[in-house]
Amino acid sequence: MAKIKIAVAGCLGRMGQEISKQILQNKNLEFVGGFEHKKHKDINKPLNKVSSIHSAKLVTANAAQLIKEANVIIDFTTPESTLDNLKIASSNKTAVVIGTTGMTNAQKKKVKSHSKKIPILMSSNMSLGVNLLFNLVKQTASALKDNDYDIEIAETHHKHKKDAPSGTALSLGEYAAEGRKTKLNKSKVLDRTKKLTSRKKGDIGFSVTRGGEIAGEHTVSFIGADDRIDLIHKANNRSIFVHGAIEAAIFLSKKKKLGLYSMKDLLF
């Protein structure tokens, strides 16, 4: 069986390096290379000289070349870079796994538009455990009514993370809102410091912590008058996200049908 050819966008980023290393260790996959923004200081340098990736391939700014060669690209970069890469992938019929967070609704619509030309799997969190948590949150929110239980979502990440709340926290909020047959935009509360008012029925509150090198922790609390239920996921390291991203790439490589997929399609 032919190896699945995978290219990595943002190969020198935290996730990019870990994904590249795991591809190189998988006998069923072929690492065709990694690319970075043209202004990156390590362009045209060997990966094994500027990172922990054991490959002599050069860090390139020529995304088009690698995307054309690959069966799948894995992209954990920025919303703007991801959309640029999607344009190239669409013209080359290359499947894309997107782990980029912080996208606006308008940017997500553009992703969906590209999925009419190529298979795309996009998830705010590639962890299999977190994706199981999404379903648990929806079920719990449906069972515990807003008259009786308030929903609060807390998340903690490393100090380098820029978007807040995390994409995963917002996804958890969306599943909670779906369980209560409403929209997150109608119920989310991101900042309680601007208005001196008591909590409203149906609010879904968010709190954010940034510090150290924490890979990711998420807690969804259902708080009633007499009890509290916490659904918690803690990532000890990035390996769970890497494993999920590679499983997603393998999944997409076998998909002959175009469309926008999620980790839910892989799991269930």
Which band of pLDDT confidence, cut at 50, 70 and 90, is reported for residue 42? very high
**In the predicted structure, residue 1 carries a pLDDT above the cut 80:** no
Question: Where exactly are the structural domains of the chain?
Answer: 4-122+239-267, 128-235
- Give pLDDT, residue 255: 87
Measure the CA dihedral 76/10/33/131, to 10°: -10
Which band of pLDDT confidence, cut at 50, 70 and 90, is reported for residue 19? very high
Beta bridge partners of 107: none
Looking at the annotation, which residues are catalytic? 157, 161
CATH number assigned to the domain with residue range 128-235, chosen from the 4 options 3.30.360.10, 3.50.50.60, 3.40.50.620, 3.40.50.300 = 3.30.360.10
Q: Can you tell me the mean pLDDT for 10-38?
A: 96
- Give pLDDT, residue 247: 95
Q: Can you tell me the mean pLDDT for 60-87?
A: 97
Task: Give the global pTM.
Answer: 0.83
pLDDT tens track for 130-185: 999 999 999 999 999 999 999 999 999 999 998 999 999 999 999 999 999 999 99
In 3D space, the residue among 247, 260, 251 whose CA is nearest the CA of residue 19 turns out to be 247
Say which range, 55-64, 122-131, 178-187, has the weakest mean pLDDT: 122-131
Count the neighbouring beta carbons within 10 Å of the beta carbon of residue 207. 15
pLDDT tens track for 95-118: 999 999 889 999 999 999 999 999
Q: Does domain 4-122+239-267 have CATH number 3.40.50.720?
A: yes
Q: Cα(44)–Cα(57) distance, rounded to whole angstroms?
A: 9
Domains 4-122+239-267 and 128-235 share a fold: no
In 3D space, the residue among 258, 251, 248 whose CA is nearest the CA of residue 117 turns out to be 258
Percent of the chain topping pLDDT 70 = 100
- Give pLDDT, residue 196: 87
Sign of CA dihedral 259, 261, 267, 268: negative
